[in-house]
Structure 1
Amino acid sequence: MQYTPLDQVRSHYDAIVVGSGLGGLTCANRLAAAGHSVLLLEHHIQLGGLATWFKRGGHIFDVSLHGFPYGMVKTCKKYWGKAIRDSIVQLKHIVFDNPQFSLRTTFSKEDFIRILQERFGIRPEVVAEFFAAVDGMNFYDDRRLTTRELFARFFPGRSDVHRLLMEPITYANGSTLDEPAITYGIVFSNFMNRGVYTFEGGTDKLIGLMADELRAKGVDICTGAKVDRILVEQGRTTGVAVQGREIKTRAVVSNAGVTNTIDRLVGRDRFAADFLGRFGQVRVNNSSCQVYFGIRQGESIPDIGDLLFTSTAAEFSSEEMRRMDTGSRTFSLYYPKTRPQNPPDHTIVASMNADYDDWASLDQAAYREAKEAMVARCFADLERYLPGIRTKVDTVESATPRTFHRYTLHTKGTSFGTKFEGLDISRSLHKEIGGLFHVGSVGIIMSGWLGAINYGVIVANDVDGYLRG
């Protein structure tokens, strides 16, 4: 796809968006719809941030298209249009398989209620009280209650129930049992609305449609344009410096990660001491590892489920899930039904949570050996569900936190932005420097595809108000 060359963009825009993750794309879209001139700058050759894809061996592999809540239907219809909304389809077969239980679910609230009562023997009134509690949670609730304490209140001593309720959310945003219960409740309520959904046609189709809409609204898009710094004069943003050029603007929206924005693009010297004190408390969330399997053309695989949460660990542990030799992973299976193309293609993506520091210190030989061991573990796990799968695979690729850092520039290759305290920093950035805004995965509840898009809308409204003020 052809975009505007950097040397052909104008010298001034109403707003410049740095980074093209789903939050940045949505923010640019809304600002353009409000009548502002917008420039979108992306350091990579593709748009999308972590919502991306790549081609190997004749296959197209989706990096993060594993499943999102029903809320994406309403959000995309309202802010991105009918073509995108109509491509959202449900994944109806979600599988859990671990030493404590094995089951298949639609991942809807109704089905989870049935499973908790019939499979786990939880009394109906307890289940009802639990869902009422999480459904009623909001951002302003007491943050002292942890998810561990929430589970102990309703399901004491039931580590199997804790696993059922928590494991998918940890995969979705890196949260743990010891973080504020509201970060769990808000995300869980979204997912438990009406099941899990995906984008039919793949990430490349989605981002292509988004790019088409941006250009139709007059947004100038530049790829391969890494921003060196955000320009600040007298406490206000004045533009960006990119590849030897200075482009002026009244508002900069950074989709480059809140830690990158402050440390690298602006510089800590531009911020007040009390703000930096709060910023110093922000923890970066964990990263990910992935292994991609392409099935040889002409071969097929049986439908064993759309999304498999599989683990050999005795009980749920967010720490175990981040270990290099973890026995916990998800398998996302892309059948022709969810990625229609000709000829039909089957791909599988194994995803694992990971800590950047475990991988960053390895020399090249140790790094290569660790990646090979990871692939071997994923193959061994996959064989339990698809015997003989090795003979059908013609393409294998793998990614680690170092890979995610290389392509996204996220601090420590984080897949989910920051922990909860990062949201306040993100939301107050424009109060420290006029015209400087942040959008993207932050604070756990603003992570994932739906969180990023919704946050893009929120920030676009902030920027619109600033520009008109």
Structure 2
Amino acid sequence: MYVLWILLIPFFLSIVLLYFYFRLYYGWGSLFTEECIQPPRPLVTDKKSRDKVLKQGFSQDKIPPNLDALVIGSGVGGLAAAAALAKAGKRVLVLEQHDQAGGSCHTFQEHGYEFDVGLHYVGQMHEGGMFRVIMDQLTDGQLQWNRLGDQYDSVIIGHKVYRLYAGKQEFPDSLKNQFPGEEEAIDKFVTLMKKVARHVPLLAMLKMIPHYLALFLLKSGLLHRLSPVFRLAESSHQDVVGRLTSNKELQTMFSYLFYGVPPNDSSFMINALLLHHYKRGAWYPRGGSSEIAFHMIPVIERAGGMVLVRAPVKRILLNNGRATGVAVQKKDKEICIYAPVVISDAGIFNTYEHLLPPEVRNTPEVDSLLSSLQYGMGCFLVFVGICGASDELGLKSTNLWIYSESDLNSLMEKFQSLEWEEVCEQLPLMFITFPSAKDPTYSQRHPGHSCMTLLTMAPYDWFHQWSGQKPRQRGDEYQGMKMQLAEHMVERAIKEFPQLQGKIEYMEAATPVSNEYYLRAPKGSMYGAEQNCSRYQCEIIGRMRSQTVVPGLYLTGQDVFSSGVAGAVHGGLLCASAVLNKILYIDLLMLKKRLKRRIRQRRS
């Protein structure tokens, strides 16, 4: 241990010196302050007022002059990077190919119902929590959150129902009550979960330090001595939990937050982070998930930037190998827009394979990185409109995860081999959630209406023959195929919630090619590059950073850090840190400490 501390002292000294170097050279002012947090204004429900923010259409005369940066894509990763840069006074133009901003956090309305498309719930939004501090700063405190009930998730395994409860002590205690005799395994898992959560900032460090230093730490063996998080990142989730318990159902409870990868090929670190993310509770945006973009965009605009939609970027412009701007395709002509910094929220595959010329994609450095990654799993979503308010129907904010058996590795292997009819009839895994029950404003905005979202995994190959075709032009075979699965999923949901019988008024389904069309998600992937063990090898972690092989070009979003809303936001902060040459997390940590001190004083 003494030797380890001798090794750590120079490392931490270098981090401190690096921090003060950046602060002295680039200015002492913090981007993040308590003063920017304003009292929340009333919820804006007027469609025209919201469209002015979320659906500002692209035209050449709207391009701000003297841009500091361009962002391709308005997903939460792109908006987070743009908002952080705007806090530094940078003029940023965000370009979105869809007809509204927000990426997977946008919503749509049909037949009087409103549906979210990607955000189902978010953790760590408790007062003083780091993610809450981050989101407050990126929205000036205007984004409000509604906490779900203490019992935020239920998991059905075969015919048994297990429940997850929020709270530092309630979380493990509830598991112990449901799995008597497994107390030691649960305690060990929670200990590992805490260890991962405490040490995960070191992964961000690995992406921010110079790449040559990251390689030195890796090849010298010092990296794994610094923290156990690097070993846990590379470890299979199944290997770790298999050593804790042989109880398959408890193993499933340690793995139930499904993102398309079986436990034997997923990183233990990611699964542990996901469970820890909700340990203090789960939250949902008041007003729906589109509120995230609605409140980030004004921060960008205040610095002179814009977020423009219907602006499909066709290529990144290069000059002597440096990114200098983008070309937007409008009808039969290209409109070139220039800026010294170009940021891509389009994902690592889209960026290198479609937006850059082949000679960049084929460089050994890029080719070896992309060869180490896989396209992520697609999903199949069903959006259901229900007659009646959520409270009248007894619908709760609790999410329901359904697995037909306890061995998730075997289940997912079987899933891949099933014929279409078998998938529809057996439905090996499914997720059910009621967005209208999570948001108390839903009943005010859509009186007498409720909504339900159903989800299952869906390999892209099921629907690849319709790739590239526009919605509603894919023919009867496509429509019949997707609605066949949708109807079976609704029938399964009604078994769990019989009060919905006869109440369903609207139903629509989205396939991986829907995600590919509306979100430009490669092969309809839910969470960017596959979240498997290969991606979380330390060498790949160090290379999956914001800086690219092209000077002036940066990446943001899920592929930079990890999956989901939180992962995409952290990708945005890492990107902004790289562009600004500031370690933004240090400012955030200092702000968080000040806020927690105020909270303690207020409560004492």
TM-score (ref. length: structure 2):
0.71
- Answer yes or no: is 1:436 the counterpart of 2:553: yes
How many Å apart are 1:314 and its aligned residue? Answer: 5.5
CA RMSD in angstroms, aligned pairs only: 2.5
Give the secondary structure class of the aligned counterpart of 1:231. strand
Q: Deviations over 1:157-203 (max 9, x none)?
A: x11011111122x24x65643223223223332233x0222112112
How many Å apart are 1:11 and its aligned residue? Answer: 5.7
How many Å apart are 1:305 and its aligned residue? Answer: 4.8
2:254 partner letter: L
The structure with the larger Rg is: 2
2:378 partner letter: S
| Structure 1 pair 348–183 and aligned structure 2 pair: CA distance change class (3 A) | same
User: Distance between the aligned counterparts of 1:78 and 1:256, measured in 2?
Assistant: 24
2:156 partner letter: D
User: Distance between the aligned counterparts of 1:212 and 1:339, measured in 2?
Assistant: 24
User: Distance between the aligned counterparts of 1:436 and 1:348, measured in 2?
Assistant: 40
Q: Deviations over 1:101-144 (max 9, x none)?
A: 21333244533311332211244333222221232134451254
1:34 maps to which residue? Answer: 88
How many Å apart are 1:366 and its aligned residue? Answer: 3.7
1:327 maps to which residue? Answer: 428
1:141 maps to which residue? Answer: 230
| Structure 1 pair 321–301 and aligned structure 2 pair: CA distance change class (3 A) | farther
Deviates more, 1:335-344 or 1:124-133: 335-344
| Structure 1 pair 306–387 and aligned structure 2 pair: CA distance change class (3 A) | same
| Structure 1 pair 225–402 and aligned structure 2 pair: CA distance change class (3 A) | same
User: Distance between the aligned counterparts of 1:74 and 1:174, measured in 2?
Assistant: 30
User: Distance between the aligned counterparts of 2:545 and 2:282, measured in 1?
Assistant: 32
- Answer yes or no: is 1:347 the counterpart of 2:451: yes
| Structure 1 pair 104–278 and aligned structure 2 pair: CA distance change class (3 A) | closer
Q: Deviations over 1:266-307 (max 9, x none)?
A: 133125223312222211111111111111257842135521
Q: Is the 8 A contact 1:70 1:191 kept in 2?
A: yes
Which of 529, 544, 558 lines up with 1:418 in the alignment? Answer: 529
Give the secondary structure class of the aligned counterpart of 2:86. helix
Q: Is the 8 A contact 2:115 2:383 kept in 1?
A: yes
User: Distance between the aligned counterparts of 2:291 and 2:136, measured in 1?
Assistant: 16
Relative to its length, the structure with more helix (as a share) is: 2
1:21 maps to which residue? Answer: 75
2:356 maps to which residue? Answer: 266
User: Distance between the aligned counterparts of 2:118 and 2:383, measured in 1?
Assistant: 12
User: Distance between the aligned counterparts of 2:338 and 2:528, measured in 1?
Assistant: 28
Which of 242, 249, 257 lines up with 1:160 in the alignment? Answer: 249
Q: Is the 8 A contact 2:375 2:522 kept in 1?
A: yes
1:380 maps to which residue? Answer: 491
| Structure 1 pair 430–304 and aligned structure 2 pair: CA distance change class (3 A) | closer
2:579 maps to which residue? Answer: 463
2:516 partner letter: H
1:213 partner letter: V
- Answer yes or no: is 1:76 the counterpart of 2:135: yes
| Structure 1 pair 286–41 and aligned structure 2 pair: CA distance change class (3 A) | same
User: Distance between the aligned counterparts of 1:87 and 1:206, measured in 2?
Assistant: 10
- Answer yes or no: is 1:214 the counterpart of 2:325: no
Give the secondary structure class of the aligned counterpart of 1:434. coil
- Answer yes or no: is 1:303 the counterpart of 2:303: no
1:450 maps to which residue? Answer: 566
Segments of structure 2 that go 5 or more residues without pairing to the other structure are 1-50, 126-130, 204-228, 467-473, 583-604
Deviates more, 1:7-16 or 1:446-455: 7-16
| Structure 1 pair 350–426 and aligned structure 2 pair: CA distance change class (3 A) | farther
Which of 153, 161, 177 lines up with 1:118 in the alignment? Answer: 177
Give the secondary structure class of the aligned counterpart of 2:235. coil
| Structure 1 pair 141–287 and aligned structure 2 pair: CA distance change class (3 A) | same
2:187 partner letter: A
User: Distance between the aligned counterparts of 1:307 and 1:245, measured in 2?
Assistant: 45
| Structure 1 pair 436–201 and aligned structure 2 pair: CA distance change class (3 A) | same
- Answer yes or no: is 1:89 the counterpart of 2:139: no
Q: Is the 8 A contact 2:248 2:406 kept in 1?
A: no
How many Å apart are 1:44 and its aligned residue? Answer: 0.5
Give the secondary structure class of the aligned counterpart of 2:243. helix
Q: Deviations over 1:56-84 (max 9, x none)?
A: 11101111231121154232123322221
Which of 444, 449, 460 lines up with 1:356 in the alignment? Answer: 460
Q: Is the 8 A contact 1:65 1:199 kept in 2?
A: no
| Structure 1 pair 126–32 and aligned structure 2 pair: CA distance change class (3 A) | same
2:186 maps to which residue? Answer: 127
Q: Is the 8 A contact 2:87 2:299 kept in 1?
A: no
1:367 maps to which residue? Answer: 478
User: Distance between the aligned counterparts of 2:568 and 2:484, measured in 1?
Assistant: 33
How many Å apart are 1:434 and its aligned residue? Answer: 0.8
Q: Deviations over 1:338-357 (max 9, x none)?
A: 14124243110001122111
How many Å apart are 1:412 and its aligned residue? Answer: 0.3
Q: Deviations over 1:144-166 (max 9, x none)?
A: 4211100111012x110111111
User: Distance between the aligned counterparts of 1:111 and 1:59, measured in 2?
Assistant: 35
Q: How does 1:163-312 map to 2 (within 5 A)?
A: 163-168=252-257, 170-171=258-259, 174=261, 176-192=263-279, 194-243=280-329, 244-271=334-361, 272-296=363-387, 300-312=392-404
Q: Is the 8 A contact 2:75 2:103 kept in 1?
A: yes
| Structure 1 pair 175–229 and aligned structure 2 pair: CA distance change class (3 A) | farther
User: Distance between the aligned counterparts of 1:116 and 1:352, measured in 2?
Assistant: 25
Percent identity reads: 22
Q: Deviations over 1:371-403 (max 9, x none)?
A: 122122112111212225241111111111111
| Structure 1 pair 438–418 and aligned structure 2 pair: CA distance change class (3 A) | same
Give the secondary structure class of the aligned counterpart of 1:126. helix
How many Å apart are 1:429 and its aligned residue? Answer: 5.9
Q: Deviations over 1:217-241 (max 9, x none)?
A: 3221211000010112222111111
Q: Is the 8 A contact 2:157 2:404 kept in 1?
A: yes
- Alignment coverage as a number of residue pairs: 460
